[in-house]
Amino acid sequence: MPLILLTGFPASGKSTRAQQLKEYFIKVSGKNVVLLSENDIVKNKLVYSDASKEKDMRSTLKSEMQRLIGQNDLLILDGGNYIKGYRYELYCTTKSSKTTQCTLHIDTSSEQAWKQNLKREETCQYTQENFDALIMRYEAPDGRNRWDSPLFTIQPDDELPFETIAASLFERKAPAPNQSTQSLPLTSTNFLYELDCVTQEIVNRVIEAQKTCMIGDEVTIPNSAEKFLLKRRYQLSELSRIRRQFISFAKTHPVDDIPKLAAMFFQYLTSHLV
């Protein structure tokens, strides 16, 4: 089941575009189209006032996506999807499922999105505080990132490029799953130990490198050919938080090839750092 991932500011028109896509693919391809919307899970926009509830919402949406994804028909995921690290995790799911995906960025300005928000029923509106916070936290997709590619940026007055979107999903070979995205049994008895050691070593390397390196320098990553670009100064607490998240993520995506862990964590780390 190929995936169309929508992303954009709150009240930018994502749900309207998602419905247009659903109608097109049902009519033209005759496929069974499943529309999974954040609106089906969020009954009250005040959920965005509570970080814990918002995180639970994203987790629920991701779980539903994982349950529905497959190699037949089409899944449309309608939501803010404003965290690039979250989009990376969704990409890993489609890759491990051996299916294609594309990203639609509904590029409505914040001013126009706010006007559209005010036209909604009061119970469906974002408060000014929540709206501004979501705008500030939004991490726009970048077509150079494989998890955002192929990327279609849609302006408010644009017609959707239905045929091009269809081609990107059904005429393109799905990326081959690899050890870093497949869910495999824990065949290595020391997997968790290696996971802890490898990730801690990388975090330590970045922290130590910052003592002598300048912004813009590249840091060699232990056990990997990758190099980490120092775009700014990173706090140990920030890197440790992402490391804990990755460990939880890796437990459901274990690998037989332990040397892959360093590359996996490097990709995860760079996708979660702003």
Q: What is the pLDDT of residues 98-146, one digit of tens each?
A: 899 999 999 999 999 999 999 988 888 999 999 999 999 999 999 988 8
**Final residue belonging to a domain, choices 135, 170, 205:** 170
Residue 179 has pLDDT above 80, yes or no: no
Do 162 and 261 belong to one domain? no
CATH number for the domain that contains residue 66 = 3.40.50.300
Query: Which of these, 266, 271, 190, 255, lies nearest to 224 by C-alpha position?
Result: 266
Is residue 176 in a domain? no
Q: What is the mean pLDDT of residues 173-180?
A: 64
Do 200 and 84 belong to one domain? no
16: number of Cβ within 10 Å: 12
In 216-267, the DSSP E strands lie at 218-220, 227-229
Do 126 and 34 belong to one domain? yes
Is residue 185 in a domain? no
Do 27 and 159 belong to one domain? yes
- Between β-strands 227-229 and 218-220, what pairing exists: parallel, antiparallel or unpaired? antiparallel
**Final residue belonging to a domain, choices 170, 199, 222:** 170
pTM above 0.95, yes or no: no
Do 132 and 236 belong to one domain? no
Structural domain containing residue 206: 191-272
Number of domains in the chain: 2
Q: What is the mean pLDDT of residues 268-274?
A: 82
Per-residue pLDDT tens for 185-203?
Answer: 444 456 777 888 889 999 9
Do 122 and 209 belong to one domain? no
Q: Per the structure block, which two tokens stand in for 10?
A: 């709150």
- Between β-strands 3-8 and 74-78, what pairing exists: parallel, antiparallel or unpaired? parallel
> In this structure, which amino acid lies at residue 26?
I
Do 96 and 146 belong to one domain? yes
Q: What is the pLDDT at residue 54?
A: 87
Contacts of 265 (CB under 8 A, 6+ apart): 198, 199, 202, 243, 246, 250
